[in-house]
Structure 1
Amino acid sequence: MNSLIISNLSKTYSNGVKALNNVSLEIPSGMFGLLGPNGAGKSTLMRTIATLQEADGGKVSFGNLDALVQKDEVRKILGYLPQEFGVYPKISAEVLLNHLAVLKGITSRKERKEVVEALLHKTNLYEARKKNLGGYSGGMKQRFGIAQALLSNPKLIIVDEPTAGLDPAERNRFYNLLSELGENTIVILSTHIVEDVKELCTNMAIINRGEVLLKGNPQKAIEQIEGKVYSKTIRKSELQSYKKEYTILADRLFQGQPIIHILSESAPGNGFKQVAPDLEDVYFSEIFGGNSGRETSN
């Protein structure tokens, strides 16, 4: 199976914002999580790979394809679910999917019917296939988005912020659907939701301000901060002073009181207790003080 290889990709917008700064990644088959805050450069990277945007420099290759040059060839093997996936509200899922299948080059009516029915079943939309898309919930629209992304049996699938705004039940349905796709395909999941990557991905990268801060296996990333995360319950009025003194990874409320997680090479004392880190701790430790380009295997 071919890997997607991104080498020294750069993009600066006309307003001076450096969206991508020499980004290099090797993405194998399976689920790959691209994690970063809003504005980190994730969507710019996704649009560039999806042939929708030009890069200033660098290279993207998939097998023998130069993705920045052979755009039509890439589009034949690509499934893409953008962050803002619009649907025609007064058309049924079945009719629109059939129409999109024609655009994808599935000209045989018999084959098209089989493909459309199979995808509606796969995305659990078959019972609602006659319903206008305007009446779909957010989760149903996202599942329709995956159905259209799978029309040409793609080798590379890109989904950009797919679970933002979904309720927990819809998110779980989406997780299950994505995990099935990732077995024989490259699926890039771009998100700012740590839970998405924790649930689904065996490989990941954390990106911020256009730079890759960390890449590798999520579990190994967690192991690398083992023994360095400490927790304490504090009063709300103390939070600002603690932020000045410590590297705070997270603050959550429990029964109205903030619980903070901090990163410390040695025991900080002062009532802090060592806790087992999770991927959210890794994420914030990189965002607030990461070293660009770190590999988890180091």
Structure 2
Amino acid sequence: MELVIKNLTKTYKNGVKAINNLSLEIGTGMFGLLGPNGAGKSTLMRTIATLQEADEGTITFGGLDVLTQKNELRKVLGYLPQEFGVYPKVSAEVLLNHLAVLKGLVNTNERKEVVKALLYKTNLYEHRKKNMGGFSGGMKQRFGIAQALLSNPKLIIVDEPTAGLDPAERNRFYSLLSELGENTVVILSTHIVDDVKELCTDMAIVNRGEVLLKGNPVHTIEQLKGKVYKKIIEKNELESYKQNHVVIAEKFLLGKPVIHVLSENDPGDGFIPIQADLEDVYFSQIFGRDQYQNALP
């Protein structure tokens, strides 16, 4: 199965162009859609999930036309939106059973087994009698995955799934997500670079509704080999360095700024070469792309 998006465009009534002639091909496995808040990721996810219309373009999944065969696509879709609401006074087991009925699992014994298996899979079985209002953020997200898997989907979309989770819950969620991409197309939409680094074998960086870069995360890092340098500077020097270098990242070490710059040649002046990582790839596309291209001879 492959999801193919061609020349997709969406402009809202207020004039904001959320998706701008975007094209992507996404195959089986975990695919990371990486970009800042407001980049158009959620608009794209809702469009794929048949929750809103596109102005132009096409989306196909296998033999399905996603934009015209919405009901058929929904039968093979699992979707965890960015904002996933629950009924706080209903237990996880009861709510998942109810959602299973809505998904078409009408056979009582079959539904009972599916619900039980998914609660085990998401490590929620021991909490199945607990009301959802008492769940932590991570537990709610795991429940969200459970409901997304009810129909044994061929396409799974998870939108900003780890935002707001503490490190322990994020790791548990990573473990769960990593099992899903073996025989399924899984799209992980996020602004958190670590999500993609930990989970995805293919990715795209998007901003302002456009694809800036697509490829294997490891390969994209290799493309920056020998081009990233860092230096510890004083706070009052930051603006000056931004004017004279392509600064792609700013961090702090012992209270002092550490900047990463992108350069075809050794910039000297105390900069030291470093091994690029996926965060450098991301920031080079989001913040340094135009500046870097303009600096090339």
Partner of residue 73, structure 1: 72
Between the aligned partners of 1:228 and 1:130, the Cα distance in structure 2 is 54
Between the aligned partners of 2:83 and 2:273, the Cα distance in structure 1 is 41
Q: Which amino acid aligns with 1:262?
A: V
Between the aligned partners of 1:16 and 1:220, the Cα distance in structure 2 is 36
Does 1:105 pair with 2:81? no
Find runs of 4+ consecutive structure 1 residues off by over 6 angstroms: none
Partner of residue 36, structure 2: 37
Between the aligned partners of 1:219 and 1:142, the Cα distance in structure 2 is 28
Between the aligned partners of 1:51 and 1:127, the Cα distance in structure 2 is 34
Deviates further, 269-278 or 237-246 = 237-246
Does the Cα contact within 8 Å between 2:33 and 2:204 map onto a contact in 1? yes
Q: Secondary structure of the residue that 2:9 maps to in structure 1?
A: strand
Q: Secondary structure of the residue that 2:15 maps to in structure 1?
A: coil
Q: Secondary structure of the residue that 1:227 maps to in structure 2?
A: coil
Between the aligned partners of 1:256 and 1:239, the Cα distance in structure 2 is 14
What is the Cα deviation at residue 41 of structure 1?
0.3
Between the aligned partners of 1:124 and 1:236, the Cα distance in structure 2 is 46
Partner of residue 159, structure 1: 158
Partner of residue 7, structure 2: 8
What is the Cα deviation at residue 241 of structure 1?
1.6
Deviations 1:44-100 (A, max 9, x none): 000000000100000000111000000000000000000000111000000000000
Q: Please give the residue correspondences for 1:108-257 in structure 2 after superposition, counting only pairs within 5 Å.
A: 108-257=107-256
Q: Which amino acid aligns with 1:152?
A: S
Deviations 1:118-165 (A, max 9, x none): 000000000000000000000000000000000000000000000000
Q: Which amino acid aligns with 1:220?
A: H
What is the Cα deviation at residue 248 of structure 1?
1.1
Q: Secondary structure of the residue that 1:182 maps to in structure 2?
A: helix
Q: Percent identity, aligned pairs only?
A: 76
Q: Which amino acid aligns with 2:226?
A: G
Does the Cα contact within 8 Å between 2:4 and 2:61 map onto a contact in 1? yes
Does the Cα contact within 8 Å between 2:248 and 2:288 map onto a contact in 1? no
Between the aligned partners of 2:287 and 2:138, the Cα distance in structure 1 is 32
How many equivalent pairs are there?
A: 290
Between the aligned partners of 1:78 and 1:206, the Cα distance in structure 2 is 23
Q: Which amino acid aligns with 2:157?
A: I
Partner of residue 260, structure 2: 261
TM-score (norm 1): 0.96
Deviations 1:89-118 (A, max 9, x none): 000000000000000000011001100000
Q: Which amino acid aligns with 1:246?
A: H
Between the aligned partners of 2:22 and 2:162, the Cα distance in structure 1 is 25
Between the aligned partners of 2:241 and 2:146, the Cα distance in structure 1 is 48
Between the aligned partners of 1:121 and 1:204, the Cα distance in structure 2 is 29
Between the aligned partners of 1:125 and 1:207, the Cα distance in structure 2 is 34
Partner of residue 56, structure 1: 55
Between the aligned partners of 2:89 and 2:246, the Cα distance in structure 1 is 51
Partner of residue 296, structure 1: none
Between the aligned partners of 2:3 and 2:176, the Cα distance in structure 1 is 22
Between the aligned partners of 2:259 and 2:288, the Cα distance in structure 1 is 17
What is the Cα deviation at residue 264 of structure 1?
0.6
Q: Secondary structure of the residue that 1:148 maps to in structure 2?
A: helix
Task: Provide the aligned C-alpha RMSD in A.
Answer: 0.8
What is the Cα deviation at residue 290 of structure 1?
3.3
Q: Which amino acid aligns with 2:208?
A: R
Structure 2 gap segments, 5+ residues each: 291-297
Q: Secondary structure of the residue that 2:182 maps to in structure 1?
A: coil
Between the aligned partners of 2:239 and 2:116, the Cα distance in structure 1 is 56
